[in-house]
Every structure is written in C-alpha cells, then in structure tokens.
Amino acid sequence: MRTIRDPPGRTTLDWQQLLVDAVHRPGIISSAYTAFWNYSLGNMIWAHLQCLARGIQPGPLHTFRGWQKVNRQVRRGEKALTLIMPVTMKRKRHDAVPGDALPHDKSDPSATFTVFLERPFWFTLSQTDGEPYKPLTIPTWDEHQALQRLNMTREPFRHVDGNCQGYAHGRTVAVSPLAYLPHRTLLHECAHVLLGHTAESTDLSDTDAATPRDLREVEAECVAMLCGCSLGLPGEDYSRGYIQHWYHADVIPDRSVQRIFKAADALLKAGLPPVPTAEADAPAV
C-alpha cells in the first residue's frame, strides 16, 4: 500500500503487512491496545510491532518534550519510535502523488494534499527515567455512545432465518438473540455501515454492488476483529476463520486496507471518551 509518500532516504511503512500481522499473529491486537489504546489503530499496532522488534517494553508514549513536562527524561542513546502523522502539503503543478488522500486536481496547482509520513518523535515509558508516572486508565467502550456518535441505530432482530447472526441496512444494525458471538456480530454489522456497504446496496447479499460480496465480508470482519480483539472480546479465532473462508486472494487490496483501518478506528474511538494523546505534543512537521 502506497499511502506514504517517502522523502528520499525514508522507509515505507507497509500497511498491508501491518494488517496481515494484526490479523494473523494471535494476541497482537489486544496487547497493542493495552499499551497504546489512545492512538489510532494503525499507530497502535505499528508502535507495538516496533517495540517487539526492538525488545522495548510497550507502554505509555510521549515525545521528548512531553516526557520532560511530566518530569521524566529520555535516557541517553534511546532511539525514538516512529508514528504515522498526516502532513498537509501544497501540490505543485503535475505533481503525481501515489496514495494521495485527496483527488488529484491538475487544474488547481495551488491545491493542498495530505500525505502520511513516519515521524520519529516518540519514546515509551520504559525508555525514560524520573518521577513516578501513572498511566491513564483504559476507559470502557460504550456501545450506546458509539452508535449515537456514528449516527447509527440498533433495532430488534427481525430476520426469520435462524442461521442469521445479524444484519445491517442503511444506518441500522440488528443482532440475533441467538448469535454465537453477539458483541462481535454487532461490530461486524456496524462495520458494514461504516464501510459504506449498506449505502452501496440495500441487500448485503447483492452480487452486483460496487464492492464484491467476498470483499465486503472480509472488510467487515477485519474491522470486527480489530475492534473486538482491542476490547478483549472473545472470538479472535472465529474472525480469523471467517476471513479465510471468504477470502482466498493473497493480499487484501490497498483501498480495502485503508478503509478497514479507518472504519475500525472510527468504531473504536466513538465508544471512548475523548482522551489526550502524545500525538498532540509532536513537533510541527
């Protein structure tokens, strides 16, 4: 996936690989959430993988200055973790931008565009010394608040098919009282709405919709898995099996990967109270 436009000499973060790691390596998502729950999902998993690769204890993050503000010092020689940050840039005429987040309008040479760059500003608690630090408590995810903020409604289940676990239409979702994993089904149906599947077609089994059926199911279950594992809900293996059942291609397309992270992030954050992150005290880029 080429959403990151690299300045010379920088490495590219592979979002497809990030999703593959998250989905296929058991426990990655939940441990990433435990340490980095107040970051975007992509950054959460990316920070966790960096910690694993470098043998750093995952935990609260701040920038160098952010740690100083809480009377802690980054130890000499510690190397910063990178996070992905959106950067707005001015477009030059005929500047082709792979993975550009905005449509490329050649007629408007002054238009701005957003790129996502890796920036090395963050250190975990374990890379610092100083006064005792009390991490923020992970807040409880509130279903009612999430649905309300996302402008979605949950209705009583009305499907006659006993095998149906749940369904979504428009911005409405329903979960069978007999659902095998009701919380995960709710996340899956919410994902169909957030991913735009219910706007594409009134019937999610429609084979003529813009997004093919198998890809719709894979996208929705990846979102359910990212959110469900983050929240410590059971069913990680079930989700992995469901994704494998529906999808046989080698890689999930770039566009889907972007949509999955965006929808999962929206669903997760909508159920949490607003919280500060160290992203806010990063130097301007």
Nearer to Zn ion, 28 or 173 (CB): 173
Q: Which stretch binds Zn ion (CB under 5 A): 63-71, 92-100, 215-223, 271-279?
A: 215-223
Q: Which is nearer to Zn ion, 19 or 175 (CB)?
A: 175
CB-based burial label for 261 (10 Å; 0-12, 13-18, 19+): buried
Residue 257 CB, nearest distance to Zn ion (Å)? 18
User: Of 218-257, which residues contact Zn ion (CB under 5 A)?
Assistant: 220
Tell the smallest beta-carbon distance from residue 83 to Zn ion (Å).
32
**By CB under 5 A, which span of 40-48, 143-151, 212-220, 258-266 interacts with Zn ion?**
212-220
- Complete edge-to-edge strand list for the sheet that includes strand 61-63: 61-63, 112-124, 81-90
| Amino acid (one-letter) located at 69 | K
Nearer CB in complex with Zn ion: 217/265: 217
| Residue placing its CB nearer to Zn ion in the complex, 48 or 192 | 192
By beta-carbon proximity to Zn ion, the closer residue of 217 and 279 is 217
CB burial readout 198-233, b (16+ within 10 A) else e = beebeebeeeebebebebbbbbbbbbbbbbbbbbeb
Q: How far is the CB of 197 from Zn ion (least distance, A)?
A: 8
Tokens of 161: 């098919």
- Tell me the number of residues near Zn ion by CB under 5 A: 2
Cα–Cα distances in angstroms (integers) from residue 38 to residues 14, 29, 86, 165, 221, in the given order:
22, 13, 17, 31, 22
Q: Which is nearer to Zn ion, 217 or 236 (CB)?
A: 217
Q: Which stretch binds Zn ion (CB under 5 A): 123-131, 145-153, 211-219, 231-239?
A: 211-219
By beta carbon distance, the residue nearest Zn ion is 220
Residues in contact with Zn ion by CB under 5 A are: 217, 220
